[in-house]
């Protein structure tokens, strides 16, 4: 399956072996990717070249070396002579230094960790002994490399052993291809690697799946709850099937801790299903773990489309898991973009199948991610607490007690701001994409600033959900970026952001504030906001506000500014 | 024993395997007369090597027979046994 990557993405492979097969496999996996291969066998020189910025500097680097190709000391250790561990680690530091230098000129650097064939016995029982064992040394080298590169926000170490395992362990190594063409691995290894690399590129571009929609009967538990009642379903209870489903639920629950939101789409009686989720003693997932559900006898694709609308997410943010192949086919056909993985009939394979999905890969996990499930649960309760008949929208917003706090970009909110910058699609005026480093560097330029917006109401804290980029000109300040999480759209936060922008530009003595809306396939909601914002539309999607007049903040919002006067 | 027809089917299976790893424009046409070597061939040496190793694996998997098909001396022969799927199949059938 051809995967999405950013158009015009360029990836350069640096390796001590012939990486042409990998380059071709990557091109076959992600057709939009421009893959180049540095001359093989000279990884140190190739890295050093990347560290010196040139017009050919790649946007992303993949560095995949064999340990003996990157660290000469390891080559010596392969001869079973005693090695000087410190000397080897110094070489690792030097290699890491080259990666760090390259990372300063590249958008991202992916580094495959070092490995060796599992069948290589090394020194047998001595192989994990310090100062003599190969595997001991290899573990030290990998840890040293990971520690050296760990603080760099645009360097990521990829798990080579997963690629080798997917290709059959020892069968992953091809002595014949090595002898014939200096290719150490069987082609299947490169297929697995290519999938992992494209998943990481997708994560870098913010294309991480955020929502997991689950069927219930024979997916989350064994049996049909409508027939047996919750007492009769297979879940926990020391039975093979029950343990398998419980293990699967624990893995689902774990996903919520990294920011994945859960929902249910099931053909069932809602009251019966919710009774099971609430009352079964072994149920690992409870109603509060789900942002929403559609449990009824309607078409599942229609139900999922409704759910996505409720949660303000696109189909390309969602994954649907169902044991029934017909339901999977129906949903996949009806909702282009949704990921519907093949699902094993054997429930003991469900947890590992879930764990193997690359679509949840992300390049950062923030506090907002960890609390996202709770945020959505609060949203569900918020929606359930319907306003009394006759309540006006403004009265309802006032009852919500929305608080907005404006804070300039700072090291404490940079990771979340960059994540918002790269993930927001619908309410995004310019859809610029920048890494955390690029965002910080832009904000530090004279005349530029990034303002962030935290939003909370009486039901809970949404976290940092809005971001403004502002740039001072001669007389005109430009809103370079205006983006807001869809979770808080339509609550007056948008107007609060423009109020903050106008105040900032007035404070800097400017005459005019303008914003150029850049249409994409996804940001029509943002355009609709701007056309009703009160700004004058003076050109092709150019919106202007004269700074001789204030832009009022909504009366329903409590606005706190931490921006220095 | 492999008949020429069975051998050709194995060659095509191997072509399927390497095509799955190749981008559009580099894929190998599954025809008995496709040129696999020489100036007219769309395959470079690495793709040909990958094809021969894939064919060894296909035969091992399908027939349980370990065959050594990759011979460096034959790689440079434009009219040798690697020149087309048909000649390759004949070479396999003879060696089996």
Q: What is the pLDDT at residue A2?
A: 43
- The DSSP symbol for A554 reads P
Q: What is the pLDDT at residue A1?
A: 42
Nearest CA in chain B to A34: B23
Chain A nearest-CA distance from B21, in A, is 5
Distance in angstroms (rounded) separating the CA atoms of residues A265 and A360? 20
Is A187 close to B24, i.e. CB distance below 8 A?
no
> Hey, which residues 30-49 in chain B have their CB within 8 Å of chain A?
45-46, 49
**Identity of the residue in A18, A174, A191 whose CB atom sits nearest the CB atom of B21:** A191
Q: What is the pLDDT at residue A397?
A: 82
Is B22 close to A28, i.e. CB distance below 8 A?
yes
Distance in angstroms (rounded) separating the CA atoms of residues A265 and A250? 19
Handedness of CA A533, A536, A538, A544 (dihedral sign): negative
- A335 Cβ contact list (under 8 Å, min separation 6): A301, A304, A305, A308, A315, A318
Q: What is the pLDDT at residue A7?
A: 45
B69 touches chain A (CB under 8 A): no
Paired tokens of A274: 């919710």
Chain A nearest-CA distance from B46, in A, is 7
B24 touches chain A (CB under 8 A): yes
Chain B nearest-CA distance from A26, in A, is 8
pTM, rounded to two decimals: 0.76
Distance in angstroms (rounded) separating the CA atoms of residues A184 and A21? 11
Selected residue of A11, A26, A28 to mutate for chain B interface (largest B Cβ count, 10 A): A28
Chain B nearest-CA distance from A142, in A, is 29
Q: Could you tell me which of A555, A522, A516, A558 has the C-alpha nearest to residue A535?
A: A516
Chain B nearest-CA distance from A412, in A, is 43
- Rounded to an integer, the average pLDDT of B39-51 is 89
- Going residue by residue through chain A, which has 565 residues, state the pLDDT in tens, using 9 for 90 and above: 444 445 457 899 999 999 999 999 999 988 788 899 998 889 999 999 887 756 565 689 999 999 999 999 999 899 888 889 999 999 999 999 999 999 988 889 999 999 998 888 888 999 998 888 999 999 999 999 999 999 998 999 999 999 999 888 778 999 999 999 999 999 999 999 999 999 999 888 888 899 999 999 999 999 999 988 999 999 998 889 999 999 999 999 999 988 899 999 999 999 999 999 999 999 999 998 999 999 999 999 999 999 999 888 999 999 999 999 999 999 999 999 999 999 999 999 999 999 999 999 988 888 878 888 778 877 777 777 767 777 777 888 888 889 999 999 999 899 899 989 988 888 999 999 888 889 999 999 999 999 999 998 887 788 899 999 999 999 999 999 999 998 788 889 999 999 999 999 999 999 999 999 999 888 888 999 999 999 999 878 999 999 999 999 998 899 898 776 5
Residues of B in Cβ contact (< 8 Å) with A181: 45-46, 49
Residues of B in Cβ contact (< 8 Å) with A180: 49, 53, 70, 72
Strand partners, A37: A13
Is A180 close to B49, i.e. CB distance below 8 A?
yes
Is B70 close to A176, i.e. CB distance below 8 A?
yes
Residues of A in Cβ contact (< 8 Å) with B53: 174, 176-177, 180, 186
Paired tokens of A405: 């706090």
Q: Could you tell me which of A463, A450, A451 has the C-alpha nearest to residue A403?
A: A463
B1 touches chain A (CB under 8 A): no
Residues of A in Cβ contact (< 8 Å) with B56: 176
Is B23 close to A27, i.e. CB distance below 8 A?
yes
3-state secondary structure of A294: strand
B20 touches chain A (CB under 8 A): yes
> C-alpha dihedral over A228, A233, A234, A236, to 10 degrees?
-140
Distance in angstroms (rounded) separating the CA atoms of residues B42 and A120? 38
B22 touches chain A (CB under 8 A): yes
Cβ-based interface (< 8 Å): residues of A facing B = 18, 20-21, 24-25, 27-28, 31, 174, 176-177, 180-181, 183, 186-187, 190-191
- Are the C-beta atoms of A514 and A544 separated by less than 8 Å? yes
Q: Could you tell me which of A378, A367, A462, A460 has the C-alpha nearest to residue A419?
A: A367
Is B21 close to A21, i.e. CB distance below 8 A?
yes
**Identity of the residue in A20, A174, A191 whose CB atom sits nearest the CB atom of B53:** A174
Residues of B in Cβ contact (< 8 Å) with A24: 21-23, 26
Paired tokens of A222: 């064994």
Distance in angstroms (rounded) separating the CA atoms of residues A206 and A407? 23
3-state secondary structure of A540: coil
Selected residue of A180, A182, A193 to mutate for chain B interface (largest B Cβ count, 10 A): A180
Q: What is the pLDDT at residue B87?
A: 95
Confidence tier at B63 by pLDDT (50, 70, 90): confident
Q: How many CB atoms lie within 10 A of CB A534?
A: 12
Strands A557-561 and A402-408: parallel
Selected residue of A21, A25, A189 to mutate for chain B interface (largest B Cβ count, 10 A): A21
Q: Long-range contacts for A232-235 (Cβ within 8 Å, ≥24 apart)? A: A233/A276, A233/A280, A235/A280, A235/A282, A235/A283
CA angle A474, A531, A473 (to 5 degrees): 5
Residues of B in Cβ contact (< 8 Å) with A37: none
Q: What is the pLDDT at residue A109?
A: 95
**Identity of the residue in A177, A180, A190 whose CB atom sits nearest the CB atom of B21:** A190
Q: Could you tell me which of A253, A247, A251, A285 has the C-alpha nearest to residue A266?
A: A285
B53 touches chain A (CB under 8 A): yes
Residues of A in Cβ contact (< 8 Å) with B72: 180
Distances, alpha carbon A137 to alpha carbons A68, A70, A114, A123, A507, in Å = 12, 14, 11, 12, 59
């Amino acid at each position: 399956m051809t995967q999405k990557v950013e158009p015009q993405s360029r990836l350069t492979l640096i390796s001590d072996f012939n990486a042409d097969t990998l380059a071709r496999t990557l091109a076959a996996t992600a057709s939009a990717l421009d893959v180049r291969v540095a001359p093989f066998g000279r990884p140190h020189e190739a890295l050093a070249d990347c560290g010196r910025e040139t017009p050919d500097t790649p946007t992303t680097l993949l560095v995949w070396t064999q340990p003996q190709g990157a660290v000469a000391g390891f080559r010596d250790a392969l001869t079973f002579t005693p090695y000087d561990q410190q000397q080897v680690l110094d070489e690792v530091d030097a290699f890491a230094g080259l990666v760090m230098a390259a990372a300063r000129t590249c958008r991202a650097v992916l580094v495959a960790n070092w490995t060796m064939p599992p069948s290589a016995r090394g020194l047998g029982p001595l192989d994990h002994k310090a100062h003599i064992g190969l595997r001991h040394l290899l573990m030290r080298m990998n840890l040293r490399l990971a520690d050296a590169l760990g603080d760099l926000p645009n360097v990521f170490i990829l798990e080579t052993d997963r690629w080798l395992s997917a290709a059959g362990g020892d069968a992953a190594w091809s002595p014949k291809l090595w002898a014939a063409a200096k290719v150490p691995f069987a082609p299947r290894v490169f297929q697995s690697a290519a999938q992992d690399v494209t998943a990481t590129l997708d994560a870098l571009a913010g294309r991480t799946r955020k929502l997991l929609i689950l069927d219930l009967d024979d997916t989350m538990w064994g049996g049909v709850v409508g027939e047996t009642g919750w007492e009769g379903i297979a879940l926990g209870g020391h039975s093979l099937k029950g343990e398998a489903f419980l293990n699967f639920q624990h893995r689902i629950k774990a996903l919520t801790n990294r920011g994945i939101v859960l929902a249910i789409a099931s053909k069932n009686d809602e009251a019966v299903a919710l009774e099971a989720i609430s009352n079964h003693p072994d149920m690992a997932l409870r109603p509060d773990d789900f942002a929403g559900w559609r449990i009824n006898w309607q078409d599942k694709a229609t139900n999922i489309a409704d759910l996505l609308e409720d949660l303000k997410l696109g189909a390309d943010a969602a994954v649907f898991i169902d044991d029934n192949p017909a339901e999977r086919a129906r949903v996949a056909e009806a909702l282009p973009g949704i990921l519907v993985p093949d699902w094993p009939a054997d429930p003991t394979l469900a947890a590992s199948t879930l764990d193997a999905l690359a679509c949840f890969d992300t390049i950062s996990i923030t506090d907002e991610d960890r609390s996202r499930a709770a945020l959505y649960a609060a949203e569900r309760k918020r929606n359930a607490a319907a306003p009394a008949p006759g309540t006006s929208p403004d009265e309802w917003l006032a009852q919500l007690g929305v608080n907005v706090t404006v804070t300039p970009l700072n090291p404490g909110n940079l990771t979340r701001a960059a994540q918002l910058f790269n993930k927001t699609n619908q309410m995004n005026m310019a859809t610029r994409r920048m890494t955390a480093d690029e965002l910080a560097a832009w904000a530090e330029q004279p005349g530029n600033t990034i303002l962030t917006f935290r939003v909370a109401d009486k039901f809970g804290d949404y976290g940092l959900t809005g971001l403004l980029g502002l740039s001072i000109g001669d007389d005109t300040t430009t809103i370079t970026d205006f983006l807001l999480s869809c979770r808080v759209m339509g609550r007056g936060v948008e107007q609060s952001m423009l109020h903050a922008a106008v105040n900032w530009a007035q404070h800097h003595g400017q005459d005019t504030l303008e914003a150029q809306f850049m249409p994409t396939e996804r940001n029509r909601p943002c355009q609709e906001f701007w056309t009703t914002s009160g700004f004058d539309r003076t050109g092709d999607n150019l919106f202007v506000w004269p700074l001789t007049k204030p832009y009022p903040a909504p009366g329903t919002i409590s606005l706190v500014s931490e921006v220095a006067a | 024993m492999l008949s020429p027809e069975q051998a050709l089917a194995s060659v095509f299976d191997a072509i399927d395997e390497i095509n799955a790893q190749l981008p559009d424009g580099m894929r190998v046409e599954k025809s008995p007369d496709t040129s696999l070597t020489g100036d007219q061939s769309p395959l470079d040496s690495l793709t040909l090597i990958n094809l021969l190793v894939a064919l060894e694996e296909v035969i091992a998997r399908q027939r349980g027979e370990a065959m050594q098909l990759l011979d460096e001396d034959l790689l440079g022969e434009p009219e040798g046994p690697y020149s087309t799927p048909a000649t390759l199949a004949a070479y396999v059938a003879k060696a089996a």
